[in-house]
Structure 1
Amino acid sequence: MDITKSSPLSRLFRGGSPFEALSEHIRQVDRGADLLINFFQASSDGDWNRAQTLYREISDCEHTADDLKDRIRLNLPNTLFLPISRSDLLELVEAQDKIINKIKDIAGLMTGRRMQFPATLLEPINKYIQVTIDTVHQARKVLEELDELLESGFGRNISEVIEDMVVELGKLEKRADEEQVAIRHRLLEQESELPPLEVMFLYQIIDWIGTVSDRAERVGSRLQIMMAR
């Protein structure tokens, strides 16, 4: 019997793999990450109409991801005849969901307060955001290998490919940490020239961007745990 075609989750989402819903979920997360780059550009330009539109699009991604998460939770049976446990699948989708939640938080706070980074910080913040979004892209790529893992029964060659991808994800997350340290240092040097309340919220956004890369890396960690069992 082909478990990829007969599992309840597979039938529910009309795909050949029980991980189709997880893949669709991470694609919504990934789309929200791409929108965040455009959002920062709009905020830097002071184009708040476009920023508001992008925030709504990010919110749409978050709502769609929430719907997918709920469908997975409600329709995943207590026992799956799969090489992965139900609890592992639920923890994985929860890890993915936290990424888009934080992306929405970032865009929401900046929209509500019409926040802009000082011109002197635009280059480092854009670099920081890009490497953070790269971690989300890498997390999506890792998830998209799940179908092959299932088909191969976690065969050695595919597992090695996934391990390499997870290692790369860890490297990207480390780069994001380094960029965070750099921009925090740059902001520290300029604190006395900026309103204290503005400085506080700038640090908040910097920290939240770091949370996005941390949570993307956690998706890879969850996958490693799943493969090890």
Structure 2
Amino acid sequence: MPPRNPFANLFVESPMRPLQDHMDRVYETTAALVPFLQAAQAGDWKLARVEQKKIVKLEHVADKQKRSVRTHLPKSLFMPVSRSDLLELVSVQDHIANAAKDVSGLMLGRKMRFPEEIAEDFIAYAKANIDTAKQAMKAVKRLDHVLELGFSKRELQSVEKEVAEIEHLEHLTDKLQIKLRAKLHTIEENLNAVDVMFLYRIIDSLAKISDHAEKVGSRLQIVVAV
């Protein structure tokens, strides 16, 4: 008999564990943006390349985990959770890691860094998006408790609280994005036009991290709806 996939064995222990492990890796990928961005802003492109390779490697691991979940998620879970909803949750989680990889690839490929006048605002904005992904990870961690306690009202309220915090943080990133865009607009006439276009693109790509994190929260609400 061929050996059983150890990742698949996790479904026997907890149907939610593989999804949580995937989200852990997604957040790890996203958090790896911080040292990359710091290297990029310092103009240390040798270090930035090293850090970007770490992001790509982590995203690849997350992608493999996503495929494992899709392959091994039982067709019958014997609980009030839709298999299709869980698969959709994994897909949305994966989009967060993809966004982080896209940001690092774009900045490294063009050796982009934000002008000193707005560098502090840019880093604050990036970290806010990453914090939103971290909150999404915390919310996904609640799934085990929901299942173990039989979808109790108290646990469902805890999930709602975690999701509300995701929405709060996503709203904060929106405000920081508006502020950053406004400051970029005031100095863009002094910058190369093509560079300006890509700076706005980086801002938009970072926003996808918190946007997808918010979608994770929305999918969680659907998963635990009974």
TM-score class, shorter-chain normalisation, is over 0.9
> What are the within-5 Å matches in structure 2 for residues 107-186 of structure 1?
107-186=104-183
Task: Supply the AA of the counterpart residue of 1:206.
Answer: I
Percent identity, please: 42
Partner of 2:187: 190
**TM-score normalised according to structure 2 size:** 0.94
Contact (CA 8 Å) 2:19, 2:90: kept in 1 or not? yes
Shift of 1:225: 1.4
Equivalent residue of 1:117, what SS?
coil
Shift of 1:11: 5.5
Provide the aligned length of Structure 1 versus Structure 2: 222
Match of 2:211 among 208, 211, 214: 214
The 1-side partners of 2:7 and 2:223 are apart by 19
Contact (CA 8 Å) 1:29, 1:100: kept in 2 or not? yes
The 1-side partners of 2:86 and 2:98 are apart by 19
The 2-side partners of 1:83 and 1:9 are apart by 25
Structure 2: gaps spanning 5 or more residues:
none
Shift of 1:32: 1.2
Shift of 1:89: 0.5
Structure 1: gaps spanning 5 or more residues:
1-7
The 2-side partners of 1:32 and 1:120 are apart by 28
Q: Deviations over 1:111-156 (max 9, x none)?
A: 1111110001111111101111110110000011110000011101
> What are the within-5 Å matches in structure 2 for residues 3-14 of structure 1?
12-13=9-10
Shift of 1:14: 6.7
Shift of 1:206: 0.2
Shift of 1:82: 2.1
The 2-side partners of 1:25 and 1:132 are apart by 19
Equivalent residue of 1:13, what SS?
helix
The 1-side partners of 2:204 and 2:7 are apart by 38
Match of 2:80 among 71, 78, 83: 83
The 2-side partners of 1:49 and 1:28 are apart by 25
